[in-house]
Structure 1
Amino acid sequence: MKKIFTILSIISVSAIANAQIVINEIYGAGGGSTSSILYKYDFVELKNIGSTTVTLTGAYLQYAAAAGNFNGGNSNHALPTITLSPGQTYLLQEGSVGTAGGNLPTPDGIGTINLSGSAGKIALTTNSTAPTSATSSNVIDFVGYGTTASAFEGTAPATAPSNTTSIARTAGDTNNNSVDFVAGTPTPQNSSSGTLAVSDVKNVKGSFVKNTFVKNNEITFGTNAKDVKVYNMFGQVVKTASVKENGTLNVSDLAKGNYIVTGTVNNEPVSQKILKD
């Protein structure tokens, strides 16, 4: 009996671990031909939303048109072995249809999939077998986006992105695309960013953040700090700034809870956990 329970436990842990890495953000207007295009390439950002480090081996990113089928070829991207710690992101640069827009942060992987900027289907799978639905056995995560998407997780597809917006995961994974994703300003992050939100304090300077318990909607800084970023506990950047000594950053638009504030002080990276009341 003990041996049977041990085997089941291993299988269960493996299944949960695979589900921790999800599709976190999608931008499909790369290149294009108008001045409103933000990035030269489409991108898909993966993220480990779990609490343990996870490795994916032999995984694929697969794409299909809104009303089409997954069929491999240039719509498949074979991924290298990926190991992500909790909160860590992984940036996949994909295709482009023009030269408009700026460059992405240095991508972790480069593919050639041309995503639709308004409606489509993307699957993260354990192998190259074409999924036939959002619940196919090899699907790790699945996002149908745009009103015409023929398959999706949950009751409806995610909202559509645009030339100036991506769709990004709001928090965890409820397996309902229409709830889990919202449109907003793209925030592509490679694997070297986005991890501090689930880490503890690092290289703390006593004068970096003066009020780690924020009660008045203002974070007060005790020193000049460049490249200040506020991360929520899902690894998403929710505020950016550069501040002066005794300067403040208004966070009235942020929900109550824990955040990580990072910055550069005297050319040294620092971070501090705060609690907004």
Structure 2
Amino acid sequence: MKKIFTIVGLISAAASMNAQIVINEVYGGGGNSGSVYKNDFIELKNIGSTTITLSGATLQYGSAANPFSQYHTLPDITLAPGKTYLVQEAVGNAGTTNLPTPDYIAPIPTNFGTGTNTTAGLAMSATAGKVALASNSTQVTSPTDSNVLDFVGFGTTASQYEGAGPAPAPSNSNSIARISGDTNNNAADFVAGAPTPQNSTSGTLAVSDLAKSNGNFIRNSFVKNNEITFGAETKDVKVYTLSGQLVKTASVKENESLSVAELAKGNYIVTGMVNNKPVSQKILKD
């Protein structure tokens, strides 16, 4: 997929190809019965290796079976590597908790067709739909449109998605979140789990993502047996909660496993040093 950004500073063409702001997490259950958070949200992330600026972009939303119907603009966004950007979307009538301070509160969206909206933010489905990050306000019609920077179809009934299939279905209590990098395959790149909204002031635990480049850091981002398996010798391993709390440290050999049986189910960030380079990866413990 073609991903176009304004690159900050003079960098090589090869480096710019790795610089990308993508959709990192989508939650449409905000304010619904059984939800914790009062608002829907979309979280963006710079998964590249350089600081980049995104200008003139929009977030677009469509229901599972229908064309994209709404969009709202985004302000100019500059993100360092590993940084996230939290966009607050529509509010509901339930939920108990406000989002962390959003980087941007979405305005009233614009319809691509007739009619007007009166409520701020995209009101997304909790279970199935599609979201696009686009370089302009032209209506997205497919994941391969020239203005598409990133595209996520989620839920089993989603009519469009990147790759072989849609991301799993979220719910009123679950979002879908990116595992690590971007392979342009929604089914492989996202998992469903408890919402973990993070704004741009959240601590940056990553400098680079070895898993994206060669897959040798952590072999099982989805941890089902209480053990993380490492594909490379990794020094100074640290496991953090998504709020930045350090919960475990270690050093491991190649193909060695690290027990995380004492940790609660949920998402974590694992960091370490491989060949004297800092790396990190998000994991989901089931």
Same fold (TM over 0.5): yes
For the superposition of Structure 1 and Structure 2, which TM-score range results when normalised by the shorter chain?
A: 0.5 to 0.7
Identity of aligned residues (%): 57
**Equivalent of 2:92, from 97, 100, 108?**
97
1:23 maps to amino acid: I
**Aligned position for 1:237:** 242
Find the structure with the greater CA-based Rg: 1
1:150 and 1:172, CA in 2 relative to 1: closer, same or farther beyond 3 A?
Answer: same
Aligned to 1:50: 48
Is the CA contact 2:15–2:49 (under 8 Å) kept in the aligned structure 1?
Answer: no
How far is 1:133 from its partner? 0.2
- The 1:78–1:239 alpha-carbon spacing in structure 2 relative to 1, beyond 3 Å, is closer
The 1-side partners of 2:243 and 2:198 are apart by 13
2:158 is the alignment partner of 1:157: no
Preserved contact between residue 58 and residue 80 of structure 1 (Cα < 8 Å): yes
CA distance in 2 between counterparts of 1:91 and 1:102 reads 15
- Given candidates 116, 120, 123, the residue that maps to 2:129 is 120
Task: Specify which of 141, 145, 150 is matched with residue 141 of structure 1.
Answer: 150
Q: What's the secondary structure of 2:141's corresponding residue?
A: coil
Give the whole-Å Cα distance in 1 for the aligned partners of 2:12 and 2:122: 33
Question: Any idea what the Cα deviations from partners look like across 1:59-111, whole Å, max 9, x if unmatched?
Answer: 0000001111113xxx2120000000000000000002313231000000111
Contact 2:59 2:74 in 1 (8 A): yes
Structure 1 pair 99–164 and aligned structure 2 pair: CA distance change class (3 A): closer
Taking structure 1 as reference, are residues 139 and 183 closer, same or farther at Cα in structure 2, changes over 3 Å only?
same
Shift of 1:164: 1.1
Matched, 1:16 2:17: yes
Pairwise CA distance, 1:38: 1.3
Letter of the structure 2 residue corresponding to residue 94 of structure 1? E
CA deviation after TM superposition for structure 1 residue 274, in Å: 10
AA partner of residue 31 (structure 2) = G
Q: Helix, strand or coil: the match of 1:178? A: helix
- Gaps (5+ residues) in structure 1? 1-8, 200-216, 218-228, 244-249, 261-272
* 2:40 is the counterpart of 1:38: no
Q: State which of 184, 194, 210 in structure 2 corresponds to 1:185.
A: 194
- RMSD of aligned residue pairs (Cα, Å): 3.2
Equivalent in the alignment of 1:65: 63
What does residue 86 of structure 1 align with? 81
* One-letter amino acid of the structure 2 residue matched with residue 61 of structure 1: L
In structure 2, give the amino acid aligned to 1:59.
A
Q: Quote how far apart the aligned CAs of 1:259 are.
A: 1.5
Aligned residue pair count: 210
Q: Is 2:239–2:247's contact at 8 Å kept on the other side of the alignment?
A: no
Conserved? CA contact 1:230–1:237, under 8 Å? no
Give me the TM-score of the superposition, normalised by structure 2.
0.66
Secondary structure of the residue aligned to 2:90 is coil
Task: Please list every run of at least 4 consecutive aligned residues from structure 1 whose deviation after the TM superposition is greater than 4 angstroms.
Answer: 9-15, 238-243
Unaligned runs of 5+ in 2: 1-9, 107-120, 209-226, 228-237, 249-258, 264-268, 273-277, 281-286
Provide the C-alpha distance between the structure 2 equivalents of 1:142 and 1:65, rounded to a whole number of angstroms: 13
8 Å Cα contact 2:21-2:48 kept in structure 1: yes
Higher helix share: 1
Residue 38 of structure 2 contacts residue 94 of structure 2 at CA under 8 Å; is this kept in 1? yes
